[in-house]
Amino acid sequence: MAKKVSCDDCTGLCCRYFALPIETPEDKEDYDDIRWYLCHKDITVFVEDDDWYINIKNKCKHLTDSGHKCKIYDKRPKICRGYRTHDCDLIEGEYDYELHFTNDKQMEEYMKIKFGSNANKNGKRKKKKAKKK
């Protein structure tokens, strides 16, 4: 049975990041692009149900510093309204990631296993931004 939690006991964990789907990497260059995302501060990448996501740790500007409440609660976006406490971020250990990368080194090691030891030898490729969905 799901553990009961209360937002009153929380510092607004669900308001301190957002995650976006990214394209499933297919080749070495795609994985290397993800390694580049992971070179940046407060970025992680995870795979859940075969879907890849980039996670950006960045506090919502509407979360108060003291009290950790939503300043626009009555007008908060739909995605916030749909979020439920029964499987929220306050419940530890409930995530079921197939893969979880917290830094570029982890991706480098993963690429070595997946593509062999010359995983870093890519051709010239321009930096590209994550595609918006």
> From CA 116, how far away is CA 122, in angstroms rounded?
12
56 binds ligand SF4 (CB under 6 A): no
Which of 36, 62, 110, 115: binder of ligand SF4 (CB under 6 A)? Answer: 62
- Of the candidates 107, 125, 83, the one whose C-alpha atom is nearest the C-alpha of residue 22 is 107
Closest to ligand SF4 by CB, 6 vs 117, is 6
User: Are 107 and 38 spatial neighbours (Cβ–Cβ below 8 Å)?
Assistant: yes
Residues 10 to 29: which contact ligand SF4 by CB under 6 A? 10, 12-15
Q: Tokens for 32, please give them.
A: 């290397």
**Per CB under 6 A, which region of 20-28, 87-95, 111-119, 122-130 contacts ligand SF4?**
87-95
Closest to ligand SF4 by CB, 81 vs 129, is 81
89 binds ligand SF4 (CB under 6 A): yes
Minimum CB separation from ligand SF4 for residue 86, in Å?
A: 9
> From CA 29, how far away is CA 21, in angstroms rounded?
18
**Per CB under 6 A, which region of 20-28, 35-43, 69-77, 108-116 contacts ligand SF4?**
69-77
> From CA 60, how far away is CA 49, in angstroms rounded?
26
* Phi, psi dihedral angles at 101 (to 5 degrees): -110, 125
